[in-house]
Structure 1
Amino acid sequence: MTVTQDALDELWDFADPAASAARFADAAARTSGPDRDELETQRARAYGLQGRFEEADAVLDGLSGATPAVRTRVALERGRVQNSAGSPEAAVPFFRTAVGEARAAGLTFLLVDALHMLAIADTAGADAWTTEAFAEIAQVTDPRTLRWRISLHSNAGWRLFDAGRLDAALREFEAAREAAVQWGTPQQLQWAAEAIAECRAALEG
């Protein structure tokens, strides 16, 4: 198989990371080289979502880093493991590494992924990382990459919501919904609608 983001999306079910890990393991067993390594990074991610952090790190330790995409994904998943394990400060250097690798190789999708994770792990710099991510996709036409606009607006909205800036939060949630209509999944559209409803209820309360 050719490892595209669409191919990875087909194997993912974030509601069932255990089943996702099994699918990635099976797909990796049927290929080799960098394609196998990219699939294995997603198995590691699925382990991390289950709290199986040592197993996730062990998978990543076994990867070669032979291509920029593999190196970027390994750094991303090491960062996600640290963040999920409750160590966002330890995650930040990995996400910074992923940004550098992705930018040097012109891997915009992964670059924006890394920037969006930095905005989560580095709360003090969240607004700056988010602004940088939006700048990276300003001229993008690929629909799958543009889907990042949903998460970026949504995450910004929740930061504002938690800070009590409800009017600004609502604008971000509405922007997330607009992006979801254009590029998102039905689940993302539902989440955007729920965020808007919660924010409006808070404003009215």
Structure 2
Amino acid sequence: MSNLPDFDRLWDYDDPAKTEKAFQELLPVAERAGDRAYYAQLLTQIARTHSLRRQFDDAHRILDEAETLIVNIDNPSNDPTQTSRIRLLLERGRAFNSAGDTDSARPLFKEAWELARKAGEDYHAVDAAHMLGICEPADASLMWNNRAMKAAEASDDPRAGEWLGPLYNNTGWTYHDAGEYEKALELFEKGLAWRIELDNPQATRIAKWTVGRAKRSLGHTEEALAMQQSLLVEHEAVGTSDGYVFEEVAECLYALGRPDEARPHFGRAYQELSKDGWLTENEPERLERLKRLGIVL
């Protein structure tokens, strides 16, 4: 696989359709090279682009194709298909998890974790643990997130360290959902520092949003409002917008007894977030509240 392009570097998680196109263009390259393990791994990532677009039937169909290919690859003692198997498990699990079927996803992630640890695939082991942190209930979620953070911090693989930002975020949300806002804030602030160091403005804005959100939960509403308003300015400067930022500005203003100022922000939040298929399906009451407080007709 070393002579073939590193397709992982082609990922744009904000544009899975564009990413799929880039991956599809590599399939004939892999086929000509005769590298079936590479081809199978590429298929798992094409499947992931469909999962991100909630096209789960397409995702599973492509994963079935990858699985058939992996099963038929010769397996010498130095098994070149271990990574392919691990990635198949991860993406099958992600497809189930994104569709809300955590019971089917969980054993796949656990198998991926065990196989990756045995194979010394730290990056994928951390990925599996981080996914278990997402789909397990609270106590088990914290265990898996902490296990993932320790594995990432201890690994010699720099790619494993790339998981630290998402792990700070996910573990922070687990604490936040449990009402442990101080612990959540501590992790969100670590995540923000990590993002700033990487010089990724978009990811930094998201991390800054989480810090502001935790501050609101702690009752530091003026501080939270200032952070979210600064994010509005940042988005305006680069020509983007974020419904979650509008929502937080609105919630802060509303909590401070300024409903008239909050109203247009609730309205903008509804306009943006009502386009989110996951929110529409899973949090209709939240969207209805935004609509009501924003007086959206």
Question: Under a length normalisation based on structure 1, what TM-score does the superposition of the two structures give?
Answer: 0.91
Q: Does 1:59 align with 2:62?
A: yes
Identity of aligned residues (%): 33
Q: Does 1:99 align with 2:122?
A: no
Q: Does 1:122 align with 2:136?
A: yes
Distance in 2 separating the partners of 1:7 and 1:182:
24
**Alignment check: 8 A CA contact 1:72 1:101 kept:** yes
Distance in 1 separating the partners of 2:28 and 2:158:
30
User: How far 1:183 moved relative to its partner?
Assistant: 4.6
CA RMSD of aligned residues (A): 2.0
User: 1:81 maps to which residue?
Assistant: 95
**Alignment check: 8 A CA contact 2:123 2:157 kept:** no
Q: Which deviates more, 42-51 or 155-164?
A: 155-164
User: How far 1:15 moved relative to its partner?
Assistant: 1.4
Taking CA–CA contacts closer than 8 Å with sequence separation of 6 or more, which of the two structures ends up with the larger relative contact order?
A: 1
**Alignment check: 8 A CA contact 2:48 2:91 kept:** yes
Q: After superposition, give the CA deviation of every residue in 1:26-58 in whole Å (9 maximum; x if it has no partner).
A: 112211311111111100000111111111111
User: How far 1:141 moved relative to its partner?
Assistant: 4.0
Q: How does 1:41-56 map to 2 (within 5 A)?
A: 41-56=44-59
Distance in 1 separating the partners of 2:99 and 2:86:
20
- The one-letter code matched in structure 2 to 1:16 is D
1:58 aligned counterpart, secondary structure:
helix
Distance in 2 separating the partners of 1:149 and 1:104:
21
Could you tell me which of 61, 69, 74 is aligned with 2:83? 69
Q: Which deviates more, 38-47 or 182-191?
A: 182-191
Q: Which deviates more, 108-117 or 26-35?
A: 26-35
User: 1:15 maps to which residue?
Assistant: 14
- The one-letter code matched in structure 1 to 2:185 is L
Closer/same/farther in 2, CA of residues 68 and 185 from structure 1, 3 Å limit: farther
Distance in 1 separating the partners of 2:3 and 2:12:
17
User: 1:156 maps to which residue?
Assistant: 171
Could you tell me which of 177, 196, 203 is aligned with 2:211? 196
Q: Does 1:90 align with 2:104?
A: yes
Could you tell me which of 97, 108, 113 is aligned with 2:127? 113
1:38 aligned counterpart, secondary structure:
helix
**Alignment check: 8 A CA contact 1:147 1:179 kept:** no
User: How far 1:184 moved relative to its partner?
Assistant: 6.8
2:83 aligned counterpart, secondary structure:
helix
Q: Which has the larger radius of gyration?
A: 2
Segments of structure 1 that go 5 or more residues without pairing to the other structure are none
User: How far 1:12 moved relative to its partner?
Assistant: 1.3
**Alignment check: 8 A CA contact 1:153 1:175 kept:** yes
Question: Under a length normalisation based on structure 2, what TM-score does the superposition of the two structures give?
Answer: 0.64
User: How far 1:10 moved relative to its partner?
Assistant: 2.8
Q: After superposition, give the CA deviation of every residue in 1:150-193 in whole Å (9 maximum; x if it has no partner).
A: 11111111122222221111001011122223457433222111
Q: How does 1:129-140 map to 2 (within 5 A)?
A: 129-140=144-155
